[in-house]
Amino acid sequence: MELLDLTVLYIEDDDMTRESLTYYLKKRVRNIYPAATGKAALQSYETYNPDILIVDLLLPDISGIEVIKTIRKRNARCRILVTSSLDDTETILSSVEAGIDDYIVKPIDPAVLMKKLNDMTRTYEQLTGTSEQAILASVDKVNVEMAIRNSFIKLLKQSSGRGPRDANISWLGDKLVIAAYDTQTPMEKTLRKDIKNDAFIKQFRVLFYESLQRDIREIIESHTAMKCCLDSMNIDIQRQNDKLVYKILPDG
């Protein structure tokens, strides 16, 4: 199954944003149905039964959270992508509890959007035809990944004064991968004017993450209810991306 096989309901009250993204997705999905309000979105959902929802949280009538809760109660298979701002941490955590699958930063980067939608397509395919118990287990795992992501971003923002532009959490088997994007601080940006400083910046970031290891492990362990340890760390200064790999330890 591919993204072109699936239908999308896009809920956004800003006319320009909604029209622009609808036009962009028209040739990339089977059908896209735009809605400007929560009420219109719920009506469209009943009519079209979409496979994927893209939901803005701040709507003029019903909140995006309420739309998500209503749809999630009716359909565990539908994939839900929220659009909002990184600063809205509490609302994002509420949306995680409501049952979202992923989150994207505004303004929306088309490349990031397509990656997330394609990831959702694979998840949707895995859920199709499986038992409701398996579906709910997968949804719970996605919610755990999202909760870790939001707590991780909040920790970095509190510790360095600037969080990453975005982060992605992947929990596969006994490995949990945290990938942080655009992690450069203002000080590092100044230092990077001279490429000779890259080695120093990399060393600084390694020490920075090492100083946060207890906090990061607590975040992972509180959401997974399992012990973990750092397995590897990769700092890509040129791309401004950091990857931390944790090994989930067996019980006992």
Question: 251: exposed, middle or buried (C-beta count within 10 Å: 0-12, 13-18, 19+)?
Answer: exposed
pLDDT above 70 covers a percentage of the chain that reads: 83
The band of 45, judged by pLDDT with boundaries at 50, 70 and 90, is very high
- Where is mean pLDDT largest: 88-102, 130-144, 177-191? 177-191
Average pLDDT over residues 186-210: 79
Domains assigned to the chain: 3-129 (3.40.50.2300), 153-248 (3.30.980)
Strand extents, DSSP E, the chain? 7-11, 31-35, 52-56, 79-84, 102-105, 166-172, 175-181, 228-236, 241-248
pLDDT in tens, 127-163: 555 444 554 455 567 778 888 998 999 999 888 877 7
Query: Is residue 163 a contact partner of residue 181, using CB atoms and an 8 Å limit?
Result: no
Query: Is residue 46 a contact partner of residue 71, using CB atoms and an 8 Å limit?
Result: no
Strands across the sheet containing 241-248: 166-172, 175-181, 241-248, 228-236
Q: Is the peptide bond before 107 cis (omega within 30 degrees of 0)?
A: yes
Nearest to 78 by CA among 69, 66, 86: 69
pLDDT above 90 covers a percentage of the chain that reads: 36
Tell whether the model's pLDDT for residue 43 goes beyond 90: yes
Query: Is residue 242 a contact partner of residue 179, using CB atoms and an 8 Å limit?
Result: yes
- Where is mean pLDDT largest: 39-43, 91-95, 106-110, 153-157? 39-43
The band of 90, judged by pLDDT with boundaries at 50, 70 and 90, is low
